Structure 1
Amino acid sequence: MNPIDQLPEPTNLAGAQALIVRVQALLDAQGIMLRPPPPEPTTCCGRGCNGCVWEGWLAAVNYWRDEASLLLA
């Protein structure tokens, strides 16, 4: 089984940062190049908006994780 598939989807900043580090280490160990993960947002207003930039970023991190999973399969 692909090791990335066993990693939980991140739901917060710390979880996403940890996921990025682990996935990047797996890719590096296999010598696989993948575009960098999405950069963290810098424009959050802190009001808890529906469709917050953090929600979009977490979705982008999950998509990046899925791309890495396909490369490691």
Structure 2
Amino acid sequence: MIRPGGVVTDPLPPLLDAPSARPVLADLQTRLTAQGLALRPPPAEPTTCCGRGCNGCVWEGWLAAANWWRSEALALLAAAPP
């Protein structure tokens, strides 16, 4: 979606946690493969979280990257010929 001023926004709600993000990313990866579209794999889940709820937790960075990847995958799928 393009808002006034040319700002592109994702019309979907953000991915907020790993359990809900995993199936979304897997589905998009399957759809990309089925249509023969190339996009780098989604970001790998972090393995270094200490579990203390740090400000700037590795999961926050992963979710930001996962949301970006989802937007890129959706744009690629939308631009592909039927």
Moved over 4 A (4+): 5-8
Choose 1 or 2 for highest CA Rg.
2
Structure that is richer in strand per residue? 2
Q: How many residues align?
A: 69
Between structures 1 and 2, the one with greater helix share? 1
- Matching residue of 1:18: 23
TM normalised by structure 2 equals: 0.75
Report which structure shows greater RCO (CA 8 Å, sep ≥6): 1
The two structures have a TM-score, normalised by structure 1, of: 0.83
The percent of aligned pairs where both chains have the same amino acid is 62
Q: Which runs of 5+ in 1 are unaligned?
A: none
Residue 6 of structure 2 corresponds to none
Change (3 A) 1:34 1:59: same
Please report the RMSD computed on the Cα atoms of aligned residues, expressed in angstroms.
1.6
Gaps of 5+ in 2: 1-9
